[in-house]
């Protein structure tokens, strides 16, 4: 009786720890919605996860009342994972953050896949409900893993966009085969000797589907795809929570899945496109530049550093539009220094932030927060556009597609209908780029040839540092 009471007490403590973990996940996710509290929210959720992990290791008991015993393997996995994760997070540059997110997300999908494989192997004749969860978790986890690895390769340039002839039909056939095989396995319609082969066939087909699903999608749409795959991983993790009757795993999976889905919808809305169009439209792929790049744009004009300094020094208001070029050059600190010099001269400085600027949502916000730029100066797209007509100088730093007027003016453009930062409404537009090459979507930008636009070529960090030097001398 005393032993039973001890087990019940430990189980109550375990559930309480899981409750703490679930609550910290929810609070942490809420705090991630604002840059001022994002770091604290991340640490808060991590603390909850730590509590849940420690409680599971020392208090968890299986259906037979047995505690975990393979502590060496558990400790080894925790140590190795912690070291790899810490070193990777410290080493990664902000420009490579989307790649890291995609790769880590893929590891989550692989984990969910392995959980399903282990549970299927351990339970020879699982009940129908458990088998359903195992199969769904394996399918979703495998697709997320395979797709995330391809997305990682495309983001770092190791894998190019490839459209397979009849690819959509092939994907449909593979997906239909996955569904049919899954029904056969779950429903027990095949002989017990055949069922395992069908199960592992589902695994192989899901991996192939994940690869073919992501392969043709254009580079400009990768942030949407990563977010979608992230929601897949969350769902797969939630299935793992069902398998182990683990509330904190279930809560975490549901939060990741729902947050990823909402983020996917918001990004599609920011680009004025449907998710279906993203998945089959190949926006940003090889065909994307056909309509706009072939037009005769005319000539562009350059501006010198000294002229730029004079124009900005005597401006009433300067709006800086950051883009991926700013991140590549690691110029956020130089940008903040320029901002302080201009403010000392009585110039109002704000930042116009497009929802999909950079390579992932919030990319520019995090980049500027890294340089201690006040969050109050970061304007969302709608607010920035309202203030654009009262802006003396709009300075575009490495942004391209998010300021392209073709999104409003050219129905033949692949980005037509996408909301943009309407920088052409400012009195003067200065665009800093390394060259006249197209942006991530692979299309020409009409803005560069507008009469009020001046091009300031060069590496963003060096240009901003030199510009700051010029301003100090005025």
256 & 303 share domain: no
321 & 390 share domain: yes
In a domain, 1, yes or no: no
Q: Out of 179-183, 189-193, 322-326, give the one with best mean pLDDT.
A: 179-183
300 & 351 share domain: yes
Question: Residue 433 pairs with which residues in a beta bridge?
Answer: 457
Q: How many other CB atoms are found less than 10 A from the CB of residue 150?
A: 25
299 & 211 share domain: no
Minimal CA–CA distance to 209: which of 145, 269, 270, 161?
A: 145
Q: Is 36 a catalytic residue?
A: no
For residue 407, pLDDT over 90 is answered with: no
> Taking a C-beta distance cutoff of 8 angstroms, is the pair 443, 406 a contact?
yes
Distance CA 190, CA 235 (A): 28
280 & 318 share domain: no
What CATH number corresponds to the domain at position 461? 3.40.50.1220
In a domain, 99, yes or no: yes
Poorest-pLDDT segment among 65-69, 82-86, 294-298, 344-348: 294-298
Poorest-pLDDT segment among 202-211, 240-249, 462-471: 240-249
Q: What separation in angstroms does the CA of 422 have from each of 166, 352, 362, 401, 442?
A: 38, 10, 20, 11, 20
> Taking a C-beta distance cutoff of 8 angstroms, is the pair 302, 456 a contact?
yes
pLDDT range class, residue 207, cuts 50, 70, 90: very high
For residue 463, pLDDT over 90 is answered with: yes
Minimal CA–CA distance to 357: which of 385, 384, 322, 326?
A: 322
State the Cα torsion 88-90-96-100 to the nearest 10°. Answer: 40
297 & 221 share domain: no
In a domain, 383, yes or no: yes
pLDDT for 284 equals: 46
Is residue 398 left, alpha or beta, with left meaning phi > 0 and alpha meaning psi from -120 to 50? left
175 & 324 share domain: no
In a domain, 240, yes or no: yes
**Residue of higher predicted confidence among 283 and 418:** 418
pLDDT range class, residue 254, cuts 50, 70, 90: very high
Q: What kind and span of H or E run contains 35?
A: helix 35-59
For residue 386, pLDDT over 80 is answered with: yes
DSSP structural state of residue 433: E
In a domain, 144, yes or no: yes
For residue 290, pLDDT over 50 is answered with: no
392 & 465 share domain: yes
Count of domains forming the chain: 3
Measure CA of the first residue to CA of the last residue in the chain; give whole Å.
Answer: 86
Q: How many other CB atoms are found less than 10 A from the CB of residue 206?
A: 28
State the Cα torsion 76-77-78-81 to the nearest 10°. Answer: 120
438 & 468 share domain: yes
**Prediction pTM value:** 0.79
Q: What separation in angstroms does the CA of 121 have from each of 58, 118, 143, 198?
A: 25, 5, 20, 14
59 & 179 share domain: no
List of residues 6+ apart from 98 with CB closer than 8 A: 155, 222, 223, 226, 359, 360, 363
| Alpha-helical segments (H) within 215-246 | 222-244
pLDDT for 280 equals: 62
For residue 126, pLDDT over 90 is answered with: no
pLDDT for 314 equals: 93
The pLDDT tens digits of the residues spanning 331-374 come to 999 999 999 999 999 999 999 998 878 767 777 887 888 888 98
36 & 151 share domain: no
For residue 295, pLDDT over 60 is answered with: no
In a domain, 352, yes or no: yes
Starting at the earlier edge strand, list the strands of the sheet with 317-322.
378-380, 348-353, 317-322, 393-397, 428-433, 453-457
For residue 128, pLDDT over 50 is answered with: yes
Domain that holds residue 176: 94-287
pLDDT for 294 equals: 43
For residue 235, pLDDT over 80 is answered with: yes
Go through the chain and tell me how many residues it has: 474
In a domain, 300, yes or no: yes
Three-class SS state of 440: coil
Task: Tell me what the mean pLDDT of segment 3-29 comes to.
Answer: 81
For residue 412, pLDDT over 70 is answered with: yes
| Alpha-helical segments (H) within 61-124 | 71-91, 97-122
The pLDDT tens digits of the residues spanning 98-118 come to 788 889 999 999 999 999 999
Q: Choosing from 123, 192, 372, 401, which is the catalytic residue?
A: 401
Poorest-pLDDT segment among 277-286, 355-364, 380-389: 277-286
In a domain, 2, yes or no: no
> Taking a C-beta distance cutoff of 8 angstroms, is the pair 463, 305 a contact?
yes
User: Domain ends where: 46, 67, 91?
Assistant: 91
Structure tokens at 267: 């990004």
Minimal CA–CA distance to 351: which of 378, 313, 312?
A: 378
User: Domain ends where: 57, 91, 125?
Assistant: 91
DSSP structural state of residue 449: G
Share of the chain above pLDDT 90, in %: 48
For residue 301, pLDDT over 80 is answered with: yes
CA angle 45, 46, 51 (to 5 degrees): 100
Distance CA 358, CA 360 (A): 6
376 & 336 share domain: yes
**Residue of higher predicted confidence among 279 and 448:** 448
Q: Output the DSSP codes for 292-338.
A: HHTS------B--HHHHHHHHHT-SEEEEEE-HHHHHTT-HHHHHHH
Distance CA 83, CA 222 (A): 28
User: Domain ends where: 42, 66, 91?
Assistant: 91
């Amino acid at each position: 009786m005393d032993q039973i009471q001890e087990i019940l007490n430990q189980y109550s403590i375990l559930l309480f720890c899981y409750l703490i973990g679930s609550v910290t996940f929810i609070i942490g996710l809420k705090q991630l919605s604002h840059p001022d509290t994002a770091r604290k929210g991340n640490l808060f959720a991590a603390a909850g996860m730590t509590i849940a992990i420690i409680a599971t290791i020392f208090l968890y008991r299986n259906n037979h009342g047995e505690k975990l015993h393979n502590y060496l393997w558990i400790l080894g996995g925790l140590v190795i994972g912690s070291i790899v994760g810490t070193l990777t997070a410290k080493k990664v540059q902000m420009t490579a953050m989307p790649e890291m997110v995609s790769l880590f997300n893929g590891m989550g999908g692989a984990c969910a896949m392995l959980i399903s494989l282990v549970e299927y192997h351990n339970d020879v004749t699982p009940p129908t409900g458990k088998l359903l969860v195992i199969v769904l978790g394996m399918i979703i986890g495998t697709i997320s893993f395979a797709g995330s690895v391809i997305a990682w390769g495309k983001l770092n340039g190791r894998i190019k966009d490839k459209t397979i002839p009849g690819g959509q039909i092939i994907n449909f056939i593979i997906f239909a085969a996955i569904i049919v095989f899954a029904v056969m396995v779950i429903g027990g319609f095949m002989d017990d000797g055949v069922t395992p082969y069908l199960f592992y066939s589902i695994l192989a087909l899901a991996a192939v589907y994940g690869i073919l699903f992501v392969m043709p999608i254009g580079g400009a749409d990768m942030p949407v795809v990563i977010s979608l795959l992230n929601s897949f991983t969350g769902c797969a993790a939630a299935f793992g929570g069902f398998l182990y009757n683990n509330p904190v795993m279930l809560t975490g999976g549901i939060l990741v899945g729902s947050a990823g889905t909402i983020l996917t919808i918001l990004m599609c809305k920011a680009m004025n496109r449907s998710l279906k169009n993203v998945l089959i439209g190949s926006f940003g792929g090889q065909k994307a530049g056909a309509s706009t790049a072939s037009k005769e744009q005319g000539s562009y004009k350059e501006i010198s550093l000294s002229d730029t300094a004079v124009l900005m020094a005597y401006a009433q208001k300067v709006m800086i539009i950051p883009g991926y070029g700013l991140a590549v050059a690691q110029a956020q600190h130089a940008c903040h220094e320029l901002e302080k010099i201009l403010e000392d001269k009585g110039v109002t400085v704000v930042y116009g932030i497009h929802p999909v600027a950079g390579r992932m949502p919030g990319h520019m916000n995090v980049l500027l927060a890294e340089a201690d730029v006040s969050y109050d100066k970061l304007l969302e797209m709608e607010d920035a556009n309202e203030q654009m007509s009262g802006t003396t100088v709009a300075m575009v730093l490495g942004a391209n597609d998010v300021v392209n007027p073709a999104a409003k003016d050219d129905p033949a453009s692949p980005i037509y209908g996408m909301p943009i930062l309407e920088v052409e409404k400012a009195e003067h537009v200065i665009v800093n780029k390394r060259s006249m090459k197209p942006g991530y979507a692979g299309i020409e930008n009409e803005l560069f040839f507008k009469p009020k636009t001046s091009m300031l070529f060069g590496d963003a960090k060096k240009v901003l540092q030199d510009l700051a030097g010029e301003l100090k001398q005025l």
